[in-house]
Structure 1
Amino acid sequence: MTKFDLDVHRAQLRQQGHWTDQHYDDFLRRALQDHPDKLAIVSDRAGGAVRLTFRELEDRVARAAGGLRKLGVGRGDVVALQLPNWWEFVVAVLATQRLGATSNPLMPIFRERELRFMLGFARCKVFIVPEGFGTLDLVGTARLLRDDLDHLEHVVVANGAGTDSFDALLDSGERVDLAPEGTPPLTDPGELSMLMYTSGTTGSPKGVQHTVNTMVNAARNMTERGHLSNDDVILVGSPVGHMLGTAAGVFLALYNRATMVLQESWNGRRALDLINEYGVTYSGGATPFLADLVREVQAGAPRPETLRLFLCAGAPIPPVLVRQASEVLGTTVTSVWGMTESLASTMTEPERAGQLSSTSDGRPVSGMQVRIVDDSGKALAPGQRGRLLVRGAQVHIGYMGIPSEETFDADGWMDTGDLAYCLADDDCTDYIRIAGRTKDVIIRGGENIPVVEIENLLVEHPSITTAALVGYPDERLGERACAFVTVENNAAVSLADIREWMDKNKVAKQYWPERIEIIKEIPRTPSGKIQKFILRDLLKP
């Protein structure tokens, strides 16, 4: 049986021009040539904002690279970063990449159990953690793990004060300055440079391996389709420990040599203040981030006059939210489909956002391909739901420790685990719509319930703010559907109310939820994706 050949895959992407072998240092070098004193980073945090020009950013990257090299970091080593949206994250990642090492962003919510697995699995050499962020003792946990894990040699403390602080690291070694233009990077841009764990919507995370080329291709395509430039100011509100914050925030800004505004942790009202203070033109995040901005303005916060574009990813966008963003914020919402393994693979153009962002998740960007197939692998016609396959220039090069043939077929296609269909409109047949996860399918009496459509309809109910539909076992029908909802101002919503709403909207009775659970908050990953496996557990006897 023919197996996927990664080397052939790399060669094809280079030949087709989708992989350009540019490095992050190339973009930083160009920024220094064009506008060294332009504001590169605003790091907004509880202790006060830190502002760095591109000249100052490069100085800190060179010093951090020297400090990391003194700690023994070199090609092939893994540096883990459990940092919030702070300037230290950007500096440390760029310094790690300059040394040919691998960056491994981790979410600050992770505790000892998750960290012991993740740091051990990747055999991290250096672990960078924050002092004074959140309620967890991240520094104490990091030092405990350093003493227990033989490969973890150093802990560096951002915002710390001791000899192991990030500031001390900056002054500890000989600078590693930008190499002359044309100098090959220490690591091939097609090799592993970024390790990111999956976000855990269905359970155990896996180590996703990305390259500089996959990340740069994503930035280039988001830039071209979203019409971004170095005149934009980018708010990074999504956590940098997740791919959305890193790829569609930090690296997107670096690619464009644009100013990035790092928001320490998400708060809708604070985000609006930052947008208005710094003239933010672009931001991105999952639907809860956008919904927060809408609610804050509806409650009286200043309108974000400069915010022209919001890239919404992580889940299909409820149509009502697209309308509200336009009417309340004056912002165009572009829908994007991607995942940790495949970055920003499909995207709606701003010009068609009003028409399509609420009904599709975009069309493939340059260098990306999608297929929708049935369980036998047969391609399906527009309008037919099936398994979503993806391949191309933004797809990861495999899971760490897992043979590639378990992830890719011989032609390089990866099963995303998502269900989708192509729009049947003749003008939009290359646009896709996510219809749920394969693990989220609810089959009631042999009939597949259209989960996403029902969830969107529930959110349209005047008393419901968010909704998640999950299946629970039934002896006669196999499964029934339960709607978990959050409500507006403690409103009373009953199953009878839901049935009346379904009937009013002429939904087939087979699709109606047969149970409702009102909860305070829908469980989500840090990037905003709903964790339905937690909801299913709540339904167990």
Structure 2
Amino acid sequence: MQIDDGLWPPAMFEPQREIATHYHEQGWWRPTTLLDDLVVRRRETPNAVAVRSYHAEGGSESLSWSQYADRVERYAAALRSLGAGPGRVVAVQMPNLWQTSALILAVLRTGAVVAPITTTFRARELERMLDCLKPVVVITVAEFDMYNHATALAEMRTRLPFLRTTVVFGDGPADINFHKYFEQRQWEPLALADARDNPDRVAAVMFTSGTTGEPKAVLHTYNTMYAGGQDYAVQEEVGPADVMFNPHALTHMFGLLYSLMMPATTGATAVLLDEWSPAAARTVIDDAHATLVSGSPQYLIGLWEQYPELTTASISRVITGATTVPPNLVSKTRAVTGVALQSFWAMTEVMLGTWTRRTDPPDWSAHSDGRPGAGTELDLRGNDPIDRNNPAALFMRGPSVCIATVGRDSGKVTMIADHDEGWYETGDLAIPDGRNGIRLMGRTADRINRGFVVPAADVEAELLNHPGIRDVALVGVSIEGEILDEAVAVIVPSGPPPSLNELNSFLTARGMTDWCLPTQLKVVDTLPRNTTGKILKNELRRELRVTATGGAVFR
């Protein structure tokens, strides 16, 4: 891909005019942006708390909407001086700090595309991402989670000729020290009120995890991101009185939506925690009086272990998703908070696709991943009957779907509207939930063929009820010359590991069909997961093989 004067061609992509016109006419997209929201917050509630930023080791800082907006304007001026502007990309790889929120908004104020990158990515993956995006500025943290990000970036610098400036938060090798350049220098603010940004331009680019193929850079506009959260905020009555806690990285779609975008559009307070710790999270929730808690199941499981029952009086809503929701998490959430757990379905390419409503039955999130929001269409494609034994491929179309993807390594560009009348193939398997919504049944790439398609999500959910299992993944392994897959239960035991016969007797007693039962068992200390808690089954498949004598071993 040819680069001219620091410009990244995909940054110039726009949605099809007919689609944009339709979404605007329906009110799913709007003529304003996040920057306008910040102007409104500073004008209407200047002294209200915009963000509370906590440190796991103790201490916190709070910024009002006025202070928050001031910082965004100053940071934007500093970034403009470094070449950030329309058609260019600025990458931000930072932990959950209020400065990260302000920097993301500041990048947008310059007219540039922001590329949030989580701190979990190490040198190899980071270099590939940067080579794809061709950013003019990269902002990273010196050291975090026992990894020296600044040194890693400095080492690859000579292989990134397009990169004009590196900025480091903290002490480390870089062109610019964040504190000295952004904080100590006197900058003429780049006024938010003067921004006249196009809400349909590419505003953010985020990478998929690549669990089923080549990682992709996903291009979102202000409006695709807005549509993802706004209908949820309206239906769930999120407003200025809310205090929102989400443990995910601001540089991940989940954290970006719940800790930056939704607070800005609704006036709610965002609560950040720089490093995940269940004990620290409890302290933060209690101190901030959080009203809306969101996070993937793995985070909530750890969090609720810190609480005796019914001790979180401030919490009025809890929502989870990004991976399978264990049924026991539904009952545990209600026991701890007194409210029904809501579940959702989303992905990097779709900011928020479906969610269960507070008007649904209290335990509905154990059976459903919810109904779509306004303007979102679902299409389940498969052979009838579509049921647990025969789930269908999930396709989605609507205002929160990204406008394009770019292959990280291949550079292949896919404009979503140009294919299949705008239907996006999610890669997920799903079935109808009986209330106009869906229940996810796993990934297409994770299908297990035992004559019928094994409902892996159901099997895993049942196995999590076994007292001897702390974590589990059911993985299909193909054997050369065999028609049927082996169904390998990879378990993390909570004590002495149960045998395969014990597991299958347990499942049979709970009414599970014979061909759904695991055929092999592998015991491990931990399961590989991505940043949202989704089990990386592709990694397990690569490492697993089934021996001729029927034993499941790692390569």
Q: Which amino acid aligns with 2:103?
A: A
- Counterparts in 2 of 1:406 and 1:236: CA distance versus 1, 3 Å: closer
> CA shift at 1:353, angstroms?
5.2
Give the match for residue 32 of structure 1: 42
Give the match for residue 364 of structure 1: 372
> CA shift at 1:470, angstroms?
0.5
Is 1:110 the counterpart of 2:121 in the alignment?
A: yes
- Counterparts in 2 of 1:351 and 1:159: CA distance versus 1, 3 Å: farther
- Counterparts in 2 of 1:359 and 1:100: CA distance versus 1, 3 Å: same
Is 1:509 the counterpart of 2:519 in the alignment?
A: no
> CA shift at 1:385, angstroms?
2.0
SS in structure 2 at match of 1:460: coil
Give the match for residue 7 of structure 2: none
> CA shift at 1:372, angstroms?
0.3
Q: Which amino acid aligns with 1:191?
A: R
Contact 2:403 2:416 in 1 (8 A): no
> CA shift at 1:50, angstroms?
2.0
Distance 1:44 1:212 in 2: 28
Q: Which amino acid aligns with 2:49?
A: L
Give the match for residue 71 of structure 1: 82
Contact 1:201 1:525 in 2 (8 A): no
> 5 Å matches for 1:151-170?
151-160=162-171, 164-167=176-179, 168-170=181-183
Matching residue within 24, 38, 54 for 2:65: 54
Distance 1:296 1:361 in 2: 26
Q: Deviations over 1:210-231 (max 9, x none)?
A: 0100111122122123221110
Give the match for residue 179 of structure 1: 193
Contact 1:272 1:304 in 2 (8 A): no
Give the match for residue 484 of structure 2: 478
Structure 1: segments with no counterpart, 5+ residues: none
Give the match for residue 531 of structure 2: 526
SS in structure 2 at match of 1:492: coil
> CA shift at 1:114, angstroms?
0.8
> CA shift at 1:476, angstroms?
4.0
Is 1:422 the counterpart of 2:398 in the alignment?
A: no
> CA shift at 1:122, angstroms?
0.4
- Counterparts in 2 of 1:462 and 1:204: CA distance versus 1, 3 Å: same
Q: Which amino acid aligns with 1:166?
A: F
Contact 1:88 1:158 in 2 (8 A): no
Contact 1:486 1:518 in 2 (8 A): yes
Matching residue within 209, 214, 217 for 1:207: 217
- Counterparts in 2 of 1:487 and 1:21: CA distance versus 1, 3 Å: farther
Is 1:85 the counterpart of 2:96 in the alignment?
A: yes
Q: Deviations over 1:490-517 (max 9, x none)?
A: 3321112101101211211111001112
Matching residue within 202, 207, 211 for 1:192: 202
Give the match for residue 105 of structure 2: 94
> CA shift at 1:477, angstroms?
4.4
Distance 2:438 2:144 in 1: 40
Distance 2:311 2:169 in 1: 34
Contact 1:70 1:172 in 2 (8 A): no
Distance 1:218 1:208 in 2: 14
> CA shift at 1:267, angstroms?
1.4
Q: Deviations over 1:193-241 (max 9, x none)?
A: 1000002323531100001001111221221232211100011311222
Root mean square deviation, CA, Å: 2.2
Matching residue within 284, 289, 297 for 2:294: 284
> 5 Å matches for 1:289-300?
289-298=299-308
> 5 Å matches for 1:220-299?
220-298=230-308
How many matched pairs? Answer: 523
Distance 2:418 2:35 in 1: 31
Distance 1:499 1:155 in 2: 55
> CA shift at 1:539, angstroms?
1.0
Structure 1 length as normaliser, TM-score?
Answer: 0.92
Q: Which amino acid aligns with 1:128?
A: I
> 5 Å matches for 1:384-533?
385-400=391-406, 401-404=411-414, 409-423=419-433, 425=434, 428=435, 430-444=436-450, 446-474=451-479, 475-488=481-494, 490-533=495-538
Structure 2 length as normaliser, TM-score?
Answer: 0.90
Percent of aligned pairs with the same amino acid: 29
Matching residue within 136, 153, 156 for 2:147: 136
> CA shift at 1:357, angstroms?
0.9
Contact 1:202 1:532 in 2 (8 A): no
Contact 2:469 2:497 in 1 (8 A): no
Contact 2:416 2:424 in 1 (8 A): no
- Counterparts in 2 of 1:283 and 1:471: CA distance versus 1, 3 Å: same
> CA shift at 1:256, angstroms?
1.3
SS in structure 1 at match of 2:366: coil
With 389-398 and 405-414 compared, the bigger mean Cα shift is at 405-414
Q: Which amino acid aligns with 2:24?
A: R
With 24-33 and 395-404 compared, the bigger mean Cα shift is at 395-404
Distance 2:520 2:417 in 1: 37
SS in structure 1 at match of 2:449: strand
Contact 1:125 1:151 in 2 (8 A): yes
Give the match for residue 333 of structure 2: 325
SS in structure 2 at match of 1:469: strand
Q: Which amino acid aligns with 1:335?
A: S
Distance 1:406 1:8 in 2: 14
> CA shift at 1:192, angstroms?
0.8
Contact 1:43 1:86 in 2 (8 A): yes
